[in-house]
Structure 1
Amino acid sequence: MIFEGIKGVPRFNCIEFSPKRTKYCLCIPIINEGDRIIKELQKALEYKINEQVDIIICDGDSKDGSTEETSLINLGVNTLLIKKDIGKQGAQLRMGMWWALQRGYEGIITIDGNNKDSIEDVPKFIEKLEEGYDFVQGSRFIKGGKAINTPLVRLISVRLIHAPIISVSAGERFTDTTNAYRAYSKEYLEHVEVIPFRDVFMTYELLAYLSVRASQLGLKTCEVPVTRSYPKNEKTPTKISPFKGNWLLFSILIKNAFGKYK
């Protein structure tokens, strides 16, 4: 089924493998992740994550065969959404969030699809949503969390630049703000002063914005411990280029701090 003409939502194709089964869903944005997304879904299957949340793949129109439908079905995926429009991660998340809210989920968990994050920790996010939290940030830097093989430049940029700027903007301390392993309540995403479905959120703007807006509005927020593991002696799995990508991230941080996305 093709969805188009929805304000603030990219045009996309929806392929439902199963009906809605759970209260919450797990949205995984990917683009040509190859074997990494397969391994992540295999781990999810091992920990029966697909029985606790509906797994929604938010694909940027991959061409590497990683979204072959039979394979996804066997790996416990509930639905495949394929973006057919402009935009990167922010557009994929808007697509997934809009569709999830329309389907009636009470909360949305997000995680990268490059197999760096502990997908087995999804129950921690479910628990916090059940307790009434509106924004739950996964963190490798709090007690119980683990940062494995984190590249030095990333460790420095997160701890000394990104997290402090986000924390000041939010008015609340967060420790792992580049981490897309999060949960959002339906109430947060549908709040009249949030409005996530806007075309300004094309790349990483939406992650930065949603990191701070909940606290600014007095909503209930927290962090939960997770593991983020980078492969040893291998190229870092990321879509952020060293210079252009990091400059884009920094400019988004500054714009967000000055309220550009409100």
Structure 2
Amino acid sequence: MKLSIVIPAHNEEGSIEETISQLYTKLKEHNIPHEIVVINDHSKDNTETILAGMTTAINTLVYYNNDGPGGFGNAIRYGLARFNGDCVAIMMADLSDSPDDLLQFYQKLQEGYDCVFGTRWSNGGKVVDYPFVKKVINRMANTIVRYSLALKYNDCTNAFKLYRKETIQGLQPLLSHHFNLTLELPLKAIVRGYTYAVVPNSWHNRKHGVSKLKIKEMGSRYFFILLYCLIEKFFSRGDYKKSRS
């Protein structure tokens, strides 16, 4: 099963080389067929120069310049339209996600699930240097999502997840242009009847650069996606449900 990893990168010159190197080393060590797909999202620094140089040494690395509108969600959607693996993980460019955790996700998916979701907030999960205000908002948002859709899963807004190619196809059309895509993908998968496993994972705050997430700008966008998924769940009459053979 070929694994694709989609990584959006906007001004990540301080992190992108180490992120890709660690990821490639781990996947090669375990003989996992893979491709690393980096979307250079209108970077103004040396991100593209670094990526271009790395492609000569890492033959599984491919990068694209996002020639459409910028934004986290747009960059991921650009990558999801171009990966060629049997499954695809979304990971961050800033070393916050662990290659070791990705291996666990990949192994779990092969048990037959349609998706594997990470959780940083359950037994076995771990966060390092998580900003306090961001943590409070994160836990409040996820609690609202859980109660609204009657879920046990507690980390919907975390981007780090793994999906089968067929699952991504079944979640179309995608609506989000920004960080709310991290909520749209898992909620649609759950509402549309795709199976998923939950695996504890770790998260480390970035060492370089600044976070691109603007919390004040995202509240209404997250609410829009939650409302959309609620409407689909209760009023679509199963029109978007996964077909069962």
Shorter chain as denominator, the TM-score bin is 0.7 to 0.9
Aligned pair in 2 of structure 1 residues 247, 67: CA closer, same or farther (>3 Å)?
Answer: same
Aligned pair in 2 of structure 1 residues 186, 46: CA closer, same or farther (>3 Å)?
Answer: closer
1:239 corresponds in structure 2 to 212
In structure 2, which of residues 169, 179, 202 is the aligned counterpart of residue 204 of structure 1? 179
Structure 2 counterparts to residues 137-152 of structure 1, below 5 A: 137-152=117-132
Letter in 2 for 1:132: G
2:9 corresponds in structure 1 to 30
Q: CA deviation at 1:236?
A: 7.5
Matched, 1:185 2:198: no
Aligned pair in 2 of structure 1 residues 86, 239: CA closer, same or farther (>3 Å)?
Answer: same
Q: CA deviation at 1:76?
A: 5.5
| CA deviations over 1:126-175 (Å, ceiling 9, x no partner) | 1122122223222222222211111111221112x221123234432222
Structure 1 consecutive aligned stretches of length 4 or more whose deviation exceeds 6 Å? none
| CA deviations over 1:183-203 (Å, ceiling 9, x no partner) | 111222122xx3134xx4211
Where 1:158 maps in the other structure, the secondary structure is helix
In structure 2, which of residues 83, 91, 100 is the aligned counterpart of residue 111 of structure 1? 91
**Two-structure CA RMSD over aligned residues (Å):** 2.3
Letter in 2 for 1:237: V
Q: CA deviation at 1:49?
A: 5.1
In structure 2, which of residues 79, 86, 91 is the aligned counterpart of residue 96 of structure 1? 79
Q: CA deviation at 1:239?
A: 0.4
Asked if the contact 2:66/2:78 (under 8 Å) is kept, the reply is yes
| CA deviations over 1:26-84 (Å, ceiling 9, x no partner) | 11111111121112122223423585221111111323222321224425642111101
Identity of aligned residues (%): 22
Larger displacement relative to structure 2 (170-179 or 29-38): 170-179
2:45 corresponds in structure 1 to 64
| CA deviations over 1:216-239 (Å, ceiling 9, x no partner) | 1221122212111125xx788310
Where 1:258 maps in the other structure, the secondary structure is helix
In structure 1, which of residues 250, 254, 260 is the aligned counterpart of residue 219 of structure 2? 250
Aligned pair in 2 of structure 1 residues 211, 78: CA closer, same or farther (>3 Å)?
Answer: same
Aligned pair in 2 of structure 1 residues 133, 168: CA closer, same or farther (>3 Å)?
Answer: farther
Could you tell me how far apart the structure 2 residues matched to 1:92 and 1:74 are? 24
Return the TM-score normalized by structure 2.
Answer: 0.82
Where 2:220 maps in the other structure, the secondary structure is helix
Where 2:151 maps in the other structure, the secondary structure is coil
Aligned residues: 227
Could you tell me how far apart the structure 2 residues matched to 1:81 and 1:216 are? 31
Asked if the contact 1:57/1:80 (under 8 Å) is kept, the reply is yes
2:70 corresponds in structure 1 to 87
2:241 corresponds in structure 1 to none
Return the TM-score normalized by structure 1.
Answer: 0.78
Matched, 1:123 2:106: no
Could you tell me how far apart the structure 2 residues matched to 1:145 and 1:227 are? 6
Matched, 1:74 2:49: no
Asked if the contact 1:49/1:122 (under 8 Å) is kept, the reply is no
Aligned pair in 2 of structure 1 residues 246, 82: CA closer, same or farther (>3 Å)?
Answer: same
Aligned pair in 2 of structure 1 residues 77, 35: CA closer, same or farther (>3 Å)?
Answer: farther
